[in-house]
């Protein structure tokens, strides 16, 4: 049996989504639509739902990515299907139709080459977001990081040096939703006000980002799978 969350709102058409990390199913439907119509719609989509839930299950097991056609890859909290395109120019990555990540590389590129191209793209996209969100939250919190760095980390999403005012963020954050990235940025900046995870630190977090505990919980779902895939 597949459980489906139904949310009715002021929209024109129904929308079906299979959500990370475990393949939770959600249908958004117009207020005017009765439950039998929604049920019929869901039944017609069962094979599609099961197919996508299998993908989430495979990723949960931490199966190594091979960077081949049809593989699922995350970006900003959404799952995309990888499409490897033979390309003679400089390798690049593009989002297409909000469904596909196009990896443009030469036909003879191996797994390590493809992995590097995608990781370089993740790094650049994350760098752009950090510049924007870092400035935003430095102003709100009233502190400033002298340097932001990105690196692969196996056990944590971020870290900071109080003395050097330097913050490191995990490259894996490129895969997670933007609000999770924002939570980590706020978390590390607040350490400039309070180095320890004590009641004072939590009070600062409650003040600056009241939903931080929810974001933390979401971020830490499938942490091992995300961090071990690099």
* Mean per-residue pLDDT over the chain, rounded: 88
Give residue 53's pLDDT band: very low, low, confident or very high (50, 70, 90). Answer: confident
Strand partners, 161: 166
What pLDDT is recorded for position 60? 53
Q: Who wins on pLDDT, 1 or 225? A: 1
**pLDDT value, residue 88:** 86
pLDDT at 200: 94
Percentage of the residues of the chain whose pLDDT score is greater than 70:
91
- Lowest average pLDDT, out of 82-86, 135-139, 218-222, goes to 218-222
**Predicted TM-score (pTM) above 0.85:** no
Which pLDDT score is estimated for 222?
A: 56
Asked if the model's pLDDT at residue 228 lies above 50, the reply is no
Q: Any idea of the CA torsion for 195, 198, 203, 209, to the nearest 10 degrees? A: 60
Instruction: DSSP for 15-72, please give it.
Output: EEEEETTTTEEEEEEETT--HHHHHHHHHHTHHHHHHHHHHHHHHHTTPPP---TT-E
pLDDT at 157: 92
Q: pLDDT tens for residues 192-227?
A: 999 998 999 999 999 999 999 999 988 877 554 555
> What CATH number should be reported for the domain whose range is 119-228?
3.30.2010.10
Q: What is the pLDDT of residue 70?
A: 87
Token pair 């502190």: residue: 143
Q: 7 pairs with which residues across the strands? A: 28
Rounded to 10 deg, the angle between the 178-190 and 199-208 helix axes is: 130
Instruction: Tell me the average pLDDT across 116-122.
Output: 95
Question: Domain ranges in the chain?
Answer: 4-60, 119-228
Burial class for 54, CB neighbours closer than 10 Å (0-12, 13-18, 19+): exposed
Q: What pLDDT is attached to residue 50?
A: 85
């Amino acid at each position: 049996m597949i459980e489906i969350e139904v949310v009715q709102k002021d929209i024109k058409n129904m929308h079906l989504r299979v959500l990370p990390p475990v393949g939770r199913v959600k249908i958004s439907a117009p207020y005017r639509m009765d439950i039998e119509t929604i049920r019929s719609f869901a039944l017609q989509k069962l094979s599609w739902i099961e197919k996508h839930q299998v993908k989430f299950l495979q990723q949960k097991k931490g199966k190594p990515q091979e960077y081949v056609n049809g593989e699922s890859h995350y970006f900003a909290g959404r799952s995309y299907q990888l499409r490897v395109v033979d390309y003679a120019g400089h390798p690049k990555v593009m989002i297409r139709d909000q469904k596909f990540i196009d990896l443009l590389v030469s036909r003879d590129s191996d797994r390590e080459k493809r992995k590097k191209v995608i990781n370089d793209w993740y790094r650049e996209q994350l760098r752009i977001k950090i510049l924007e969100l870092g400035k935003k939250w430095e102003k709100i919190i009233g502190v400033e990081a002298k340097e932001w760095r990105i690196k692969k980390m196996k056990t944590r999403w971020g870290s900071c040096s109080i003395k050097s005012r330097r913050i490191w963020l995990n490259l894996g954050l490129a895969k997670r939703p933007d609000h999770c990235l924002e939570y980590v940025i706020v978390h590390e900046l607040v350490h400039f006000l309070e180095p320890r995870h004590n009641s004072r630190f939590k009070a600062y977090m409650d003040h600056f980002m009241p939903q931080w505990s929810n974001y933390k919980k979401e971020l830490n779902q499938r942490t091992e799978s995300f961090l071990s895939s690099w």
